[in-house]
Amino acid sequence: MRNMVIIGSGPAGLTAAVYAARANLQPLLIEGKEPGGQLTLTTLVENYPGFADGIMGPDLMDAMRKQAQRFGAELVNSHVHAVKLKEHPFRVYYGDQEVQTKTVVISTGSSAKLIGLETELQLMGHGVSTCATCDGFFYRGKEIAVVGGGDSAMEEATFLTKFATNVSVIHRRDVLRASKIMQDRAMKNPKIHFTYNTVVEEVLGTKQTGVTGLKLRNVRSRDLSELRVDGLFVAIGHNPNTEIFKGQIDLDERGYIKTQPDSTRTNIPGVFACGDVQDPVFRQAITAAGSGCMAAMEAERWLEH
Ligand code: NAP
pLDDT in tens, 269-284: 999 999 999 998 888 8
With cut-offs at 50, 70 and 90, classify the pLDDT of residue 134.
confident
Mean pLDDT over 30-43 rounds to 87
pTM listed for this prediction: 0.77
Q: Give the per-residue pLDDT at 112.
A: 85
Ligand 1 centroid to Cα of residue 113, in Å, is 10
What are the tens digits of pLDDT across the range 237-272?
989 999 999 999 999 999 999 999 999 999 999 999
CB distance 148 to ligand 1 below 6 Å? yes
The catalytically annotated residue of 53, 59, 62, 131 is 131
* 138 vs 202: which has the higher pLDDT: 202
Query: Active site residue: 134, 174, 223, 250, which one?
Result: 134
Tell me, what's the pLDDT at 44? Answer: 73
Indicate if ligand 1 lies below 6 Å from the C-beta of 115.
Answer: yes
Measured at the CA of 222, the angle between CA 221 and CA 227, to 5 degrees, comes to 100
Q: Whose CA is nearest to atom 21 of ligand 1?
A: 148
Residue 146 has pLDDT above 90, yes or no: yes
Per-residue pLDDT band at 132 (split at 50, 70, 90): confident
Residue having the nearest C-alpha atom to atom 37 of ligand 1:
151
Q: What is the pLDDT of residues 63-95, one digit of tens each?
A: 999 999 999 999 999 999 999 999 999 999 999
If you ran DSSP here, which 8-state letter would residue 256 be given?
Answer: P
User: Which of 96, 135, 230, 293 is flagged as catalytic?
Assistant: 135
Q: Ligand 1 in contact with 105 (CB < 6 A)?
A: no
Q: Is 131 a catalytic residue?
A: yes
- Whole-Å CA distances, 271 to 257, 258, 259: 11, 11, 10
**Is the distance from CB of 189 to CB of 196 less than 8 angstroms?**
no
User: Contact 221/94 with Cβ under 8 angstroms?
Assistant: no
